[in-house]
């Protein structure tokens, strides 16, 4: 099971493996006070994509599509999380104010989709259709 939780919410034993999935450390959050098992900054959206979404230049649907393209191009950054999610609860920790429209939600959806694809017993997934046009 994959959960998403704001960094400012208290940790719970039910969270399982906790991973911060933001490129930047959450504001006003001391490193010694945020219980995490791992911080995967390279899994976060690129700085340019993050800034464009935060500034309102991109709507959530466009941000979601572009972030999914970035994820497709970098499976080495998220592949290990699939195994974590298969073995137990995985909590993606993020700092965004909007609990419904953020990179952790997109990543959770992506990982759930990948888990579904792996369970089908099919050949490896091709992400060519998600590549940005040249």
The pTM score is: 0.86
pLDDT value at residue 123: 47
Q: Using CA atoms, how far apart are residues 88 and 54, in angstroms rounded to an integer?
A: 32
Place of tokens 């965004």: 96
**132 contacts: CB under 8 Å, gap ≥ 6:** 66, 69
How many domains does the chain fold into?
Answer: 1
Q: pLDDT tens digits for 71-129?
A: 999 999 999 999 999 999 999 999 999 999 999 999 999 999 999 988 755 445 555 55
Q: Using CA atoms, how far apart are residues 22 and 49, in angstroms rounded to an integer?
A: 12
pLDDT value at residue 120: 57
DSSP, res 8: T
Query: Taking the CA of residue 39 as centre, how many other CA atoms within 13 Å lie in the half-sphere pointing to its CB?
Result: 11
Q: pLDDT tens digits for 17-54?
A: 999 999 999 999 999 899 999 999 999 999 999 999 99
Q: Within its chain, how far is the Cα of 126 from the centroid? A: 20
- Which residue range forms the structural domain that includes residue 38? 2-130
């Amino acid at each position: 099971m994959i959960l998403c939780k704001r960094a400012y919410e208290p940790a719970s034993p039910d969270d399982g493996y906790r991973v911060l999935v933001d490129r930047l450390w959450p504001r006003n959050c001391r490193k010694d006070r945020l219980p995490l098992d791992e911080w995967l900054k390279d899994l976060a959206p690129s700085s340019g994509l993050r800034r464009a979404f935060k500034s309102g230049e991109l709507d959530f649907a466009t941000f979601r599509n572009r972030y999914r393209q970035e994820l497709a191009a970098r499976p080495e950054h998220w592949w290990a999380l699939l195994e974590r999610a298969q073995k137990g609860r995985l909590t993606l920790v993020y700092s965004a104010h909007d609990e419904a429209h953020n990179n952790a939600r997109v990543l959770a959806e992506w990982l759930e989709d990948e888990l579904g694809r792996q369970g089908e017993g099919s050949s490896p997934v091709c992400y060519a259709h998600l590549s940005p046009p040249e």
